[in-house]
Amino acid sequence: MSLEVSQKITIEKTKNSKIDQVDFNNLPFGQVYTDHMLICEFENGKWELPKIIPYQNLHLDPSAKIFHYGQSVFEGMKAYKDENNDVFLFRPIENQKRMNISAKRLAMPELPESYFMEGLETLLLLDKDWIPTTPNSSLYIRPFMFASGNGFHASPSDKYTFIIACSPSGPYFGGELKVLIEQKYSRSANGGVGYAKAGGNYAGQFYPTNLAIEKGYQQVIWTDDTSHEFIEEAGAMNIFVRINDTLVTAPTSDRILDGITRKSIIDIARDQGISVEIRRISVNELVEASENGSLKEMFGAGTAAVISPIDGFGFGDKDYILPKLEETYATKLKKQITDIQYNRSEDKFGWRQLVK
């Protein structure tokens, strides 16, 4: 199913663009929004055609199911501009597919691929001037879907709204990243919704993360919910550990989100001749590797920061500090992935998609 875009996506343009009020050299992350948004409603068992309208507030009944039962899923992706002002997406189909995987788990309707992809491309071309050109800046894209039908009855909604909103964002400065290995709380559980990008997964993370922050850490390393012996994710990022010259990451499961950055890193690293193991990593192994010096690096991987190097981790009441290496896999892999994203290098995997 494919839309004839020009005929089917209606566009209502804004009468007063906000673009002149934006300082593109000082962009915070995710706090400035472009002039337009895509909106698409699901009603009477089917999706209506997407519309592009000026960025605006939503009107929802207080009984809307999103507020009570949390049916809400989202995606996070970016659009990049190269030196010729051409616009690129990075593996966008993966986001489209994953949103439907998330939606299905929350008993929400799947959105047709063409509504997502053609809707997104039309929106990006309309708001093209909002995609920053300052180095390592990008347009952060937030597709999301939520239950907009009414009623206090605890059942799936009969109406849903899909929106794509965009936010020009500057380069990501991570700062120090010390993480605490979580031994009590869980982000997700077997049979649960951890593999879905569901809003509620984040709600459940905030409190344990705040406790870690109070202890002087910035993030939590989530461990498996049954034994808390194996590390799974770093906050809302997938986790990589370098032991000697081998990169190790946990296998995806019910509990671990199948990150696009994660799988791209695995492919790029292997292509570079770096050995990558996809297997469980126990906290004991991590502590031993830190003590015997074989633990070289740890980093988180996700769209927003791409790669966030971890400076050290806390376990129980002990802290383990990672060495400061001259050359890291984190720096090397981040450069390679962003070179593909910004059209600065060959794209042998076919991940980059020109928006036209």
Ligand X SMILES: *Cc1c(COP(=O)(O)O)cnc(C)c1O
Alpha carbon distances (Å) from 330 to 222, 235, 242, 260, 322: 20, 17, 10, 16, 13
Characterize 320-348 residue by residue with b for buried, 16 or more Cβ atoms within 10 angstroms of its Cβ, and e for exposed.
Answer: bebeeeeebbbeebbebbbebbbbeeeee
Helix (H, G, I), strand (E, B) or coil at 129: helix
CB of 302 to ligand X, least distance (A): 4
Contact residues for ligand X (CB under 6 A)?
76, 197, 233, 236-238, 257, 259-262, 302-303
C-alpha to C-alpha distance for 60 and 222, rounded to whole angstroms? 35
In terms of CB distance, is 216 or 251 closer to ligand X? 251
In the complex with ligand X, which residue's Cβ is closer, 109 or 302? 302
| Min CB(252)–ligand X separation in Å | 10
Q: DSSP string covering 73-110, please?
A: EE--EEEEE-TT--EEEESHHHHHHHHHHHHHHTT-PP
Q: Which is nearer to ligand X, 113 or 258 (CB)?
A: 258
Query: Which candidate, 281, 268, 273, places its Cα nearest to that of 242?
Result: 281
Whichever of 30 and 76 has its CB closer to ligand X, that residue is 76
Q: How far is the CB of 89 from ligand X (least distance, A)?
A: 13
**How far apart, in whole angstroms, are the C-alpha atoms of residue 116 and residue 122?**
10
Least distance between ligand X and beta carbon 276 (Å): 16
Residues facing 77 on adjacent strands: 141
- Distance separating alpha carbons of residues 254 and 189, to the nearest angstrom: 7
Q: Please state at what angle helix 92-105 crosses helix 260-271, rounded to 10 degrees.
A: 140
Which lies closer to ligand X via its Cβ, residue 36 or residue 334?
334
CB of 202 to ligand X, least distance (A): 7
54 vs 199 by CB, closer to ligand X? 199
* Closer of 236 and 333 to ligand X (Cβ): 236
